[in-house]
Every structure is written in structure tokens, then in C-alpha cells.
Amino acid sequence: MQVLNDSAAARTKPRTKPQTAPDMHFSAYRPIRKEIPGVTTPNLPALSLMSLIQDPVAEPTGLLLSGGGARAAYQIGVLRGVAEILPSNTPNPFNVISGTSAGALNAALLATHAPRLRTGVRTLEHIWKNLSSEKVYTPQSSTLLKSASNVLLSMLSSKASEISVAILDNSPLTSLLERVINFERIQRNIDLGYLDALGITASAYDTGESVSFYQAVQGIADWQGPHRIGRRTELQLKHLAASSAIPIIFPAVKIDDRYFGDGSVRQLAPTSTAIHLGARRLFAIGVSANRNKPRVQSEASTQPTLTQILGHIMNSSFVDTLENDLEFLQHMNALVPHVPMLARRMHGIEVSHIELLEIAPSVELNDLALDYYDELPKSMARYIKKSGSGSLLSLILFEPGFCTALLQLGYADALAKREEIAAFFRLTL
């Protein structure tokens, strides 16, 4: 059961409602911006200055961006559709943004562009369209095979070492993030009222805990649950690097005196972070094809290849946990009305219905990735054959063609759910 430890009432931000707004129909809550001494307020249109229609009874809305490697480009396509459905000058409509792995990279950049949603989405769209594998990773050694051999030797050795155990070097990605993300804007946008909280999740190698590092308004406390904790901090590049450091593929990242890896690993409840940060409505963008569609079962005549096995393992971290958690949340929503209020009070149970809207790919991304196999760098294609590698390809194919196809798919899927999105944001079309 999702236990809600952080009450929205504990927040300190003003919930003021303007006197009149006769010709606006968008009523999703965004707090009125505050004047901060020494901080210049951006000169935005009047609609943004009013933060659309303030609704003090509306519950905080959270955006959930999961991991999935290159699949995360799909999330930006969906957000482009959302930005098009909402009024053109709309600021960030999400009180809480929670990101994991590649989703954490999207989440952080959106938070830095919170004053105007479309600006953040267009920036991310430009990045993904011009992305290539060489801007994300390079082999740790001169060849991929030598890198894999070094990892295997490290695994067989019993001696502790400061040398990173990884097949690929993701320093090109960290350099890219350092250029495009201004982390100082996160707190600035929180102070101005464009955002309540940003959460980035990583996995601690020493304890196996899922640690959500967050930057937020006052009134939100750290939390601790089964195998997951929340820690307030000033988010930096190292937190994004840790959240996206796929085990064995990318090096672990040191934060303080501990090492962290990809946040999708052992993240049993992806929705937990956003809920702990105060969200009571969730807009979740998945990166797995519609789970309601039956999967076509192929006739396996041979043993699975190494790439199939790796893809299967990575899918279990990046995709399956989110699907399972969303399904659990839907079941809990159905049960909440049947739990008597007296029983809740007697046993100290704090539960709440979590409004949920999920947008997921309408086609299988594994199959889509196979259409762009020729984009795979030769150094990788030498070891990853096309047959049966769709799952792994969809995670590591950081190339313009595939990423653009994902952007277009996400955009189309969002527009196909235009009415549902409009209803979620209380928008009258």
C-alpha cells in the first residue's frame, strides 16, 4: 500500500486564487510566483504571470519519467504533444518532476526551463535529434572486446580497486550535460514558484537502496521505506551521472563517500518518489509498448544470444518495474474507496486516491529499433547482431534516425490522447 508520509498541507508555499479570470479554462494548479530579493523576475506574458488559473483545492501534479536509455527520446515526443495541447505560454504545469536514469536527464533540463514548458521541450528535442553514440559513450579501452575483457578480469579478481569496472566510458555524456544544464536554475525556479520539487533516483551499491536525491520547497521531509530513501540535497551533475550509470556498461559514480549506479536498478516503486514529494496526481510516460496488447510469441529454435539475454535483463530494470508499479497503483485506487474512514483512523493509515494518466508507446520499440540497426556504430555492430537484438538496441541506439522516430511516435501518441490529456489538466478544448 502506498503510505503517504508527506502531507500537502505541510507545504509553505502560498495557494492564492486570483479574483477573476473569465476567459481562461486551464485550472491545473501552479503557485503564484514570488518576488525574491536580488532575483530578476523574467518578463513573461500576462498568462504566465498569473500562472494560468490558480486553484487552491487542486492537488499537486507530478511528472514521472522512467529510465530506458535511448527510449527516453519518446518521453520528449509526448511532452511536445502536451505542450501543443496546453496554451502556448504555459509554464511548467507539474509541481513535482521525478526522473530516473535517462529520464532523470530529461527531468533536470525540464526543471531548468520551468518558466516556459515549450522552451524546455524544444531544447530537449534539439538535443535528442542531434544525439549520436559518440556523444554518449566510448569504449573504456581501444576496442569493445578489450573493454569487456578488462571487466571480466576485474570480476574474477578479489582485490579492491579504484579503477572503474565498466565496458563503456560515458564521459562524453557528462560533458554534454555540463554544457546544456544550468543547475543553478533549479533552485531559482523553485523560489519563483514554477516548481515544487525535482527528484533524481540512483541506486546505492553498498546497501542496495534506491536513493532519491531531491531539491524542493521547505516542508518536505526526508523519508525512508523498504529499500528506498529520500535525501534533500542540491542537485548537481554527479546525481544525473549516477542515476544513468548502467551497471557494468557505465562506471559507478561517487557521491560523498558512496558509489551509485543506475536508478532503475532495484527501484521497486518508481511512483514512490513523486508521491513522497507531494504529488497526488501523476502523469507517467512509459517506454514500453502498450501492455494490454498481446505479445507475439516467436518460435525459438536456438538458445538465446548474449545480446538477447542482456536486453532481457536490462528490460527487467528499465521497463517492468514501472509497469508493475502503475498496475499496483491502479489496484490501490480501486480499493481506497472501500477502506472505511474509521479503520484508517484507528490504524493510522494515510492513503489517498492518486489520479493517474499514463502515455505509453503504441508500437513495440524493440521492433522499431531493428529498423535502424544500420545506424549502430561499427565498433558495436561487430558484437551485436541484428537478429534478436531489438531489446538491447532500443536501449543503446543513441542515433539521430532512431531518436527522431521515437520523438515522432511520442508526439503522435500524445495527440491521439488529446482529450484525456486535456481532461487531466482541466483544459476545455
Higher pLDDT, 50 or 373: 373
pLDDT in tens, 188-215: 999 999 999 999 999 999 998 999 999 9
Would you say 351 and 1 are in contact if contact means Cβ atoms under 8 Å apart? Answer: yes
Higher pLDDT, 53 or 378: 378
Would you say 65 and 103 are in contact if contact means Cβ atoms under 8 Å apart? Answer: yes
Helices (H) and strands (E) counted in the chain, each on its own, are 17, 12
pLDDT in tens, 377-395: 887 777 777 877 777 888 8
* C-alpha cell belonging to residue 320: 517492468
* Mean pLDDT score of the chain: 79
* C-alpha cell belonging to residue 3: 503510505
Q: Which of 153-162, 259-268, 285-294 has the lowest mean pLDDT?
A: 153-162
- Find the angle CA(336)-CA(339)-CA(340) to the nearest 5 degrees: 135
pLDDT in tens, 169-191: 889 999 999 999 999 999 999 99
- DSSP result, 109-145: HHHHTTT-HHHHHHHHHHHHHT--GGGT-EESSSSHH
pLDDT in tens, 147-164: 554 544 454 455 555 556
Cα–Cα distances in angstroms (integers) from residue 260 to residues 1, 107, 362, 386, 387, in the given order: 27, 19, 33, 32, 33
User: What's the whole-model pTM score?
Assistant: 0.79
Q: Give the residues across from 282 on adjacent strands.
A: 62, 356
Residue 410: predicted pLDDT: 97
Band the pLDDT of 128: cuts 50, 70, 90.
very high
Band the pLDDT of 316: cuts 50, 70, 90.
low
- Max Cα-Cα span within the chain: 70
d(CA 86, CA 91): 10
Residue 385: predicted pLDDT: 78
* Amino acid letter, residue 250: F
Q: At a CB cut-off of 8 Å and minimum separation 6, what does 390 contact?
A: 311, 364, 366, 367, 369, 370
Which run of H or E residues covers position 224? strand 223-225
d(CA 274, CA 4): 11
* Amino acid letter, residue 59: E
Of how many residues is the chain composed? Answer: 429
Cell numbers 515522432 label which residue? 408
Residue 343: predicted pLDDT: 76
Would you say 196 and 95 are in contact if contact means Cβ atoms under 8 Å apart? Answer: yes
d(CA 357, CA 283): 5
d(CA 420, CA 426): 10
DSSP designation for 317: I
Which run of H or E residues covers position 333? helix 321-335
**Arithmetic mean of pLDDT, 23-43:** 39
Residue 318: predicted pLDDT: 59
What are φ and ψ of residue 202, in 5° steps? Answer: -135, 165
Q: At a CB cut-off of 8 Å and minimum separation 6, what does 225 contact?
A: 3, 272
d(CA 179, CA 19): 42
Higher pLDDT, 312 or 50: 312
SS3 state of residue 420: helix
